[in-house]
Structure 1
Amino acid sequence: MSKTIHSAQQYWNDRSDLFGNYYVKPTFFDRVFRKGVYTRVAVATKVCQEFPNSSILDIGSGPGVNSVTFIKNSSANKITGIDFAPNMIDYAQKFSSEQGVSDKCSFFEGNFLTHDWKNETFDISVALGVLDYIKDAEEFILKINKLTEKAFVISWPENGLRMALRRYRYTCPLFHYTENDIRNLHSKCNISDLKFVKSGGGWVSIAYK
């Protein structure tokens, strides 16, 4: 029997608590087999620390744990999180309040690609665990580039055993990239410096403008 296919929104809306626990209460399994999740957060946190008093956009902010990490470990003034799963937004708002940083955090439900950002820009933009579910990566990177003033950080999944296992387990479409794919996408933006960090199951790119 074939499995039911859900949208990424449906899939993650049902898993807000589970995903939050990957960060808040990681198990031994998480630390060993989801090591890439923690690597990409560490990379993004370091970039946030490089720009004092910055504004941050967290795309696909999920349960808000990463957003809180960025705020508490940098001098950032404010972080804005957008996620298409309403349960994730509820979790994020509650978590930031529990951590005492709700005054610096703003979370709202929306689709990054279709949301009207008007003339708003951010010093730093972060998209961790997002491109896994984006069909049009070119549209995404052009938009994140337009909204970002100083640097943006993106995690990219590669093909391989881990991706094959995810496709078996997950009930939503997944996408993967090669390093050449990532470089070609960034070439469409005015990037002065592009760095790569290898993480479990893919890469983290840091684009400086």
Structure 2
Amino acid sequence: MSFFQNTCKPKGIGGKIMVNMMNTGHSSMAEWGFTHIEIRNNYICLDIGCGGGANVKKLLAKTPYGKVTGIDYSEISVIKSQKINKAEIENRRCEILQGNVMKLPFGNETFDIITAFETIYFWPDINEAFKQVYRVLKGSGTFMICNESNGENSKEEKWTKIIQGMKIYNSGQVKKSLEGAGFTDIKIHKNEKGWLCVVCKKDKDVN
């Protein structure tokens, strides 16, 4: 397995190195993404594809009276995320689970905020995955996607050849899939670095 395949599902020694790299390498992008959403101090949050847990830690700091759940389908990512969020797990403000976005193990309308950093590239079917996100998001809740690649730079397509199962989406593709899942008030943010942040809402009054 190529070392870069660990961006998809970290395994073994290479996976341990990769989750450490993710925690530091994606920090600036995550902070940029967080500027586009409001997180109240008692929100119930979910970070899908939580990787090494750095963004779970950021969410915990932003919602001091709330709770944060992280989920990832890599055992190595789960172990790392549990380690760096150990104190808040012990305080019962945090939970890290191993699971799959295609079948989220949560009840309907559980979360106020759901985030997905550098992860939708690897979701087998974003149309179905977004429906799962929509299901577990509360009415009037917010879903944020944040990617380093906005799908407009052809040079980035090399990664889809190196990393099996990876697909880079542009903002139009993401917007269409979100609309198909029922999301509204979709806002698209880009910057000079080529990063993409998409923020959307679930209507308050949904059946």
Shorter chain as denominator, the TM-score bin is: 0.7 to 0.9
Where does residue 172 of structure 1 map in the other structure? 164
Cα distance in 1, alignment partners of residues 30 and 155 from structure 2:
16
Q: Secondary structure at the match of 1:177?
A: coil
Amino acid at match of 1:173: G
Aligned pair count?
Answer: 193
- Which residue of 173, 190, 195 corresponds with 1:198? 190
Contact 1:48 1:76 in 2 (8 A): no
Asked if the contact 1:124/1:152 (under 8 Å) is kept, the reply is yes
In the alignment, what sits opposite 2:11? 13
SS of corresponding position for 2:103:
coil
Aligned equivalent of 1:42, options 29, 32, 35: 32
Residue 95 (structure 1) shift: 0.6
Q: Contact 1:163/1:201 (CA < 8 Å) preserved in 2?
A: no
In the alignment, the residues of structure 2 paired with residue 40 and residue 6 of structure 1 have an alpha-carbon distance, to the nearest angstrom, of: 20
> Corresponding residue for 1:56?
45
Shift of 1:130: 1.2
In the TM superposition, what are the counterparts of 1:154-165 in structure 2 within 5 Å?
154-156=145-147, 157=149, 158-165=151-158
Supply the AA of the counterpart residue of 1:110. Answer: G
Larger mean CA deviation between 135-144 and 57-66 belongs to 135-144
Matches within 5 A, 1:95-106: 95-97=84-86, 100-102=87-89, 103=91, 104-106=93-95
* Correspondence for 1:27: none
User: Which residue is 1:137 aligned to?
Assistant: 126
Unaligned residue ranges in structure 1 (runs of 5+): 25-29
* Whole-angstrom CA distance in 1 between matches of 2:155 and 2:194: 6
Residues 185, 8 of structure 1: alpha-carbon distance in 2 compared, 3 angstrom cutoff: farther
Residue of 151, 155, 159 corresponding to 2:142: 151
Amino acid paired to 1:187: E
Q: 1:95 to 1:116 in 2, by over 3 A?
A: closer
C-alpha distance after superposition, 1:50-100 (max 9, x if no partner)? x33100011001111110011113345110111001111111111112xx4
**Contact residue 6 and residue 172 of structure 1 kept, 8 A:** no
CA distance in 2, matches of 1:194, 1:180: 11
Q: Quick one: distance in 2 between partners of 1:60 and 1:45?
A: 20
Residues 53 and 70, structure 2, Cα contact 8 Å, conserved in 1: yes
Would the alpha carbon gap of residues 10 and 167 (structure 1) be closer, same or farther in structure 2, given more than 3 Å must change? Answer: closer
SS state at 1:124 partner: strand
The answer for the alignment partner of 1:107 in structure 2 is 96
Q: CA contact under 8 A between 2:103 and 2:132: conserved in structure 1? A: no
Note the C-alpha offset of 1:7.
7.2
Structure 1 contact 5–172 (Cα < 8 Å) conserved: no
Counterpart pick for 2:72 among 69, 83, 96: 83
Taking a change above 3 Å as real, the CA distance of residues 65 and 6 of structure 1, as seen in their structure-2 partners, is closer
Q: Give the whole-Å Cα distance in 1 for the aligned partners of 2:38 and 2:72.
A: 20
1:128 is aligned, of 117, 122, 142, to 117
**Partner Cα distance (1:159, 1:152) in 2:** 22
Which ranges of structure 2 fall in alignment gaps of 5 or more residues? 203-207
Distance, in Å, in 1 between the alignment partners of 2:129 and 2:97 is: 19
Over the matched positions of the two proteins, sequence identity in percent amounts to: 19
TM-score norm. by structure 1 comes to 0.78
After alignment, is 129-138 or 9-18 more displaced? Answer: 9-18
Residue 47 of structure 1 aligns to a residue whose secondary structure is coil
| Residue aligned with 2:102, SS | coil
